[in-house]
Structure 1
């Protein structure tokens, strides 16, 4: 068996030679046999993380025994281990250039997207798995300004069009950030300039009409509105200047 078979046969979770794999060497599935299997299908792919929230806790369903698995505090992991059957279940898409494969003994493996043949590492299985070719992903149509961005909050990657001239909301963690520092700085400068102009006008109007306001009490509401608007613009400027910036990895 080639080097590729042995270099890519590591299970995603170590020490997972579970009890459930011991029944796989009986009649019909002999040990050291060669089988044909596809990559993990849509029913085994992890759902978007925000859709895994149930109630007040974050859980996913085990793809082997259907038991709920608590994934609180495990956002950075790609897979989690079920406490009932000790098998692995993915909660994220595989890393770039990789794919998940589940052996008939329920061992979850990861290998290169181009791999056609891998071996299960479990001592009581050792099956050779011939993989069906992965479905060809249609190329993403080129779009001016479309780039790959790494979220500053959760470190996941997503696509964003920089020509939108807007803030980016990560589809994984739903948090907002600026794509590149230039957008946040330019918006911060704009709101700072507007707040400075409005506060100066508010001060000028107040000084120039304070005698008139002494006999017309409604004028004070105009003063208050001008100062409040100026302070609101100033706070907006501070918001943009303090905003976290996501990293542009490059064009698609």
Structure 2
């Protein structure tokens, strides 16, 4: 027990200590050692978009398969099932961490480098020997690719900074500017265009108001210039007030 990671002895849910699920396997008993592995693709955080039931976002419990309402819980890493009281991950683990599920169904989080951890439940106390994490082939990286922290949900994702476009977070689906430069330049561009169209509208109105009194159709030109100017001004305000996601590091 001396070489077991101390920080891996805490469950993800506060009331996990001293409790085990009634359906959990009891083989081995307290202090026994079992071979465990990092949670695989079948137990990774489920997609909200694939789990919508009507208008309520839900995920399936990874222990009893009961639906779990995740409304208002998207900032959490795990949620508790109301049927079996076990934890299910709904977000990727923090950087440098990984999820591990004990045979008693207790969901644990530990360092990515951990090889042995202890279950904290009083009537389990198993020592879990972790199998090595599968080696994934390197992903080809495009020039300009960088790691970005979303300003809305604080999750990280990859984005090509060379793209002249806004970034949509794959986790929360919200749009933001990667770095302030893009939003500022777009806001300035639309502001200049708005000023030009409004100036044209004012100039044409002042210069042709006598002609417009005899030709009513001229008013449509005035209206078009002012409407275009207002739309461009609205777009400029949109970019100037847009939230900015932070570039963490180039990949």
**TM-score using structure 2 length:** 0.93
Cross-structure match for 2:190: 191
What is the RMSD of the two structures over their aligned residues, measured on CA atoms? 1.8
Which residue pairs with 1:124 in the alignment? 123
Indicate the residue corresponding to 2:48 in structure 1: 49
* 1:189-223: CA deviation from partner (whole Å, max 9, x where unpaired): 11111111111112112222222222221111111
1:152 touches 1:244 (CA, 8 Å); kept in 2? Answer: yes
Task: Give how far 1:144 is off.
Answer: 1.8
- Residue in structure 2 matched with residue 227 of structure 1 by the alignment: 226
- Aligned residue in 2 for 1:244: 243
Distance 2:145 2:80 in 1: 36
2:19 counterpart residue number: 18
Whole-Å Cα distance in 2 between the matches of residues 23 and 245 of structure 1? 46
Shift of 1:92: 0.9
Partner of 1:201: 200
- Runs of 4+ residues over 6 Å off in structure 1: none
Q: Retained in 1: the 8 A contact 2:24–2:105?
A: no
After TM superposition, the score normalised by the length of structure 1 is 0.92
Mapping for residues 141-180 of structure 1, pairs under 5 Å: 141-180=140-179
> 1:23 Cα shift?
6.0
Gaps of 5+ in 2: none
Question: Which residue of the partner structure matches residue 67 of structure 2?
Answer: 68
State how many pairs are aligned. 250
Following the alignment from structure 1 to structure 2, what is the Cα–Cα distance between the partners of residues 211 and 75? 61
In structure 2, the partner of 1:39 is 38
State how far apart, in whole Å, the 2-side matches of 1:12 and 1:29 are.
23
Deviates most, 217-226 or 15-24: 15-24
| Cα distance, 1:187 vs structure 2 | 0.7
CA deviation vs aligned residue, 1:79-137 (integer Å, no higher than 9, x gap): 11112211111111111111111111111111111111111111211111111111113
Are the counterparts in 2 of residues 21 and 105 from structure 1 also a CA contact under 8 Å? no
Instruction: Find the residue that maps to 2:21 and give its secondary structure.
Output: helix
Q: Which residue of 2 aligns with 1:6?
A: 6
Distance 2:4 2:124 in 1: 18
What SS class does the counterpart of residue 5 from structure 2 fall into?
helix
